[in-house]
Amino acid sequence: MKVALAQLNYIIGDFEGNRQKIIDSVKRAKSQHADLVVFAELAISGYPPRDFLEFDDFVQRCNDSIYDIATYTDGIGVIIGLPTFNPPGKGKKLRNSAAFLCNGEVESFFHKTLLPNYDVFDEYRYFEPNNNFEVLEYKGKKIAVTVCEDMWNVDEHYQYVITPLDEISKLHPDFIVNISASPFNYYQPVIRKKVLRANIQRYGLPMVYVNHVGAQTELLFDGNSQVMNSNGDSLLELKYFEEDFGVVDMDSAEPTKDHSLPGKIESIAKALEMGVQNYFSKLGFKKAIIGLSGGIDSAVTAVVAANALGKENVYVVLLPSQFSSNHSVSDAEKLAQNLGLTYDTIPIKDIYQSFEQTLKPFFQDLPFGLAEENIQARARGVVLMALSNKFGHVLLNTSNKSEAAVGYGTLYGDMNGGLSVLGDVYKSDVFAMAEYINQKEEIIPRNIISKPPSAELRPEQKDSDSLPDYEKLDAVLYQYIEEQQGPREIIQEGYEKDLVEKILRMVNVTEYKRHQTPPILRVSPKAFGMGRRMPIVAKYLA
């Protein structure tokens, strides 16, 4: 049997656009004499549709779409994901389903059994789990049709009391199809292959796996759809971070080499570029504006934006204050020139002094402090947002994960933006990204990378005045955020007790700030935002 894999970038709720992409892929599969073409989980709606699923109209439009697509299936089978209505009185209103279309008809449905309800996933909020196991019989083959999480209850990933493929395997399928919506993080490509091979080893069956690609606000999908034989050898592997299409003969294909896995920093860079590009294109935006400080975060953000949108669509603004060093201005200018970006310089000293004079009668002659520092950051935010409003450019936020974690940023100032590019990238990895960007030629001036980080909101200020060394800070943050380790476990790893307690307190008492930040492109296993739900008012470690 010849099977086609269609790895597509969908837009949530774009029924006409998604439907046309799917139909085009069905036609392409037929032109290559495929017997079956497979699409991703919830392909019709896009993933994740979230509370759009609470609208019957939204779900009905999904169902209407597959009947239209079915008219193009003469001579070919189609497996495709969508939400479907569950009969009244049978649990939750919806099912997460895989439809099988063939010969102009919607012939059958297979429903998802395991509904993830952790990290970024919230599927049990909407869907009723499957409890009836069948195989798809098509052209003399028995196919085990599964949906994403249904293949993940293996090895150390056991989370459920039932394993769907244990049940389906009793029906003696010839191969497994898994339609998926597996979000990217920098560990996921390795974990995914391990899980695929664990299923193949357990059941002795070939596996066809089709994933989403593209960005849906903060969630990024890396694609890497693939086919493996019953020995776990790769027969076909589609690209990372791009739409792709491929056909494989399940009965005669020879093993090929696996794609080389991109390294952590390379994959983060590609994922962020895809995330920025998709955010703009799917929302109909064209140009970005960035406050370029001469620091490493805004420099890396500018490079990502230029690569994603084109240099002609990135406008950077230098906003020096009386505390800005000369080299920060010259470094920022050099970067803009290296990238070929349009830039302007708007000093904020007069704006700041105007605020200072206005507030002086009310500041009660208290000494210069955090309020005055934040006025500068907010003055920059006002200027950037004014330019954004005037010209319709989207402001990109440049804060990194280390800063976001400990609240080292100014609400309504440098935390402004329509999208946070580096909000899930620790400062240590931002430095590594800068080195990656410069591996062929110096794009980011060396001084930006080598100088001590500073907000430059007071004379001779350094980040190290307020924060631990970034190497130590990031290590502790990783243990707390990604690994969910408490203070005792982290201290047992060899970190100083006072340091650990200070960092964890900073994280917890600044939760209110993170609730007011722009969407953060997710590249780690645990990002701030939809995948990390913490109370604002709490006393734990505070």
Active site residues: 41, 112, 148
Distance CA 429, CA 403 (A): 13
Least Cα distance to 40 among 65, 86, 7, 76 occurs for 7
Q: Which long-range contacts (CB under 8 A, 24 or more apart) does 534-537 make?
A: 534/508, 535/511, 536/511, 536/512
Q: Are 91 and 111 in contact (CB under 8 A)?
A: no
- Those residues with Cβ within 8 angstroms of residue 223's Cβ, 6 or more apart along the chain or in another chain: 7, 211, 212, 213, 238, 239, 240, 241, 242, 243, 244
Distance CA 339, CA 110 (A): 50
DSSP 68-126: HHHTT-TT-EEEEEEEEEPPTTSSSSEEEEEEEEETTEEEEEEE------STT--GGGT
SS (H, E, C) 243-271: CEEEEEECCCCCCECCCCCCCHHHHHHHH
Distance CA 432, CA 423 (A): 15
Q: Are 189 and 149 in contact (CB under 8 A)?
A: no
Which residues are registered as beta bridge partners of 7?
A: 244
Distance CA 302, CA 296 (A): 10
Which residues are registered as beta bridge partners of 216?
A: 219
* Cis amide prior to 320 (ω within 30 degrees): no
And the tokens for 282? 């799917």
Q: Are 134 and 171 in contact (CB under 8 A)?
A: yes
Distance CA 304, CA 310 (A): 10
